Chain A
Amino acid sequence: MVERTPILNFFTHLILFVGFVFCVAPFVIVAVAASHNLKDVNDVPMSLLPGSDFWVNIKTAWTTTDLGPNLLNSFIMAFGVAAGKVIVSALTAFSIVYFRYPGRMLIFWLIFITLMLPLEVRIVPTYAVVANVLDPYQTIMDLTGLSWLIQKISGVQVQLSLGLLNSYSGLILPLVATATGTFLYRQFFLTVPDELTEAARMDGAGALRFFVDILLPLSRNNMAALGTIMFLWAWNQYLWPLLITTDQSHAMAVTELKQLIPNVGGAPEWHIAMAGTLIVMLPPLIVVVLMQRWFVRGLIATEK
């Protein structure tokens, strides 16, 4: 910076340090609380020196909430959603950038508008759709008279039904469509020089070949950035898995955390709760730390 005044620098450091402490303190408190025993964690004030029960608490939290399988579920879901988004949005962006067809703008706007329809506001009907994903198509066939026609002709009564509650597909599919990802790719594709496409065409490559051989390898950074953001986003989903997974075998780590809230009247087992919290916090934190470059790049790109 231009000035090097000691007083200004002192205050800069001071304020930043305070910000740093506020940012890190909750992590430290959670970790320390997770190492205390029942008595120490409820001490007023709680000691900030680590206790000795860390691994015991972790183990207790792990077993009481079944965190092993739940973490695996969370991984499957987060990975599935991230991969799905990375693939589906790349395909869509390729279609709307590299082809000219009637209705292309319509598709663009249809995807754009989904930005205004977050899961939270259509949660109840989306739940109903997942209970039978073919219901929209059944209804359309009924309303258009198609069902009636098929029944008349073949004598078969059309009854489309496919329930996705308590399944990975039910968890993942509704979260895969992404306007953000599509626009991210679109922006990127628009910066790919036209000459590259022409060179590929002169070299004899068709659309699919160009997409696979040239465009996707060039999009690696983009995919890493998008994948990172979407993995975190999916890992941190709460409302949706809470609704869709009613049986234990599909429960997510994040949703099971709720079980650890000390009951009113029960023993205030905050040390166990914090141990569980720590475990659930850790995977996304590791992803952020390891993938920071991509994470930040991806986030910034969503502003464009």
Chain B
Amino acid sequence: MEKRVTFGKWTIGILFAVPQLILIFTFFYWPAGQAVYWSLTLQQPWGGGNIWVGLDNFRSILANADYWNSITASLIFAGISTGLAMFIALVLAALTDRQLAGSWLYRVVLIWPYGIAAPALAMAFRFILAPEAGFMAFANHFWPGFWDPGLNGADAMASVIIAFSWKYVGYNFIFFLAAFQAIPRSLIEAAAMDGSGVIRRFWDIQFPLITPTIFFLLVINITESFQDSFGIVDIMTAGGPANATNLMVYKIYSDGFKGLDYSGAAAQSIILMLLIIALTIVQFRFIERRVHYR
């Protein structure tokens, strides 16, 4: 889409874009370029000079079991938390869309978790899921050793997944509800006149019509699970136990800032970047029917 009417003096026009251009150059493109450069060199932290090493950094991290462990953990985390957050949100939104008495309450309240900072909710869940205090202690009381995220990797992973999903159910809910409400009432009524029941209508009418939203959320949730998980992991498990929750971003952070392995961290950044680029491209390939970014 283009404007028919524009202003003539484009030399002035371009000035309006300059602030953003400076920002993205300084804080996006330069660092991204830097990351590429570092990933191909061996860099001493804070000066010292770089030695060109080609793809050695990539080779060494790809040969590292810890890194593969981190990728596996990230994928498990992304898969389960996205599935959980989207499924619950879809059910709740579909039911809220039935607009029974009191549905406004859900519309208002279910969004709240999304406003909460990841570290804050991680703190809350760290307490709620603590093995020695909170509520899981109750379960441990009956089955000793049933739950201990401090020692058991699976329990730790479950904890961060629960915390993340709790936040993103609200986010997904907003989008699903909007998508359901965008379906013309007359379509549902026509289907009802055609004799199809509630479940049938959901699968035949509503579900196909909200697939673009499902797809959009799928990509966003996965991308966010790579990014927004940092605060949750840092507060709840610090990557442990035994690297069970050492997700990709967390590993980049700990390798780069704690291990001061800039080149390794840069190489990992590049790989994560490629993953996110791939996801974004997939998203826009599918959504381009609806959106024309020209």
Contact = CB atoms under 8 A, between A and B. Distances in A.
Instruction: Let me know if chains A and B touch directly in the complex, using CB atoms closer than 8 Å.
Output: yes
Interface of A: 1-3, 8-9, 12-13, 15-16, 19-20, 22-24, 26-27, 29-30, 33, 41-42, 44-46, 88-89, 91-92, 94-101, 103, 107-108, 110-112, 114-130, 133, 136, 173-174, 176-177, 182-183, 189-190, 194, 197-198, 201, 206-208, 210, 232, 235-236, 238-239, 242-243, 254-255, 257-258, 260-261, 268, 270, 273-274, 276-277, 280-281, 284-285, 287-289, 292, 295-296, 299-300, 303-304
B7 A258 contact: no
Given A238-B119, A258-B235, A295-B111, A23 B170 contact: yes
Contacts of A242: 234
B127 to A, nearest CB: 5
Interface string B236-275: 0000000000000100110011000010011001001100
Contacts of A107: 17, 21
B171 to A, nearest CB: 7
24 contacts: A16-B96, A23-B110, A26-B113, A26-B166, A29-B127, A29-B135, A41-B133, A46-B134, A88-B19, A95-B14, A99-B13, A99-B16, A101-B11, A119-B227, A121-B35, A121-B272, A125-B35, A136-B30, A194-B4, A235-B117, A236-B116, A238-B117, A288-B112, A288-B114
A92 B16 contact: yes
A83 to B, nearest CB: 13
A281 B117 contact: yes
A130 B235 CA distance: 25
Nearest to A300: B178
Which of under 10, 10 to 19, 20 to 34, or 35 or more describes the interface residues of B?
35 or more
Contacts of B5: 194, 197-198, 201
Contacts of B276: 116, 118, 121
Given A2-B189, A12-B95, A16-B92, A95 B117 contact: no
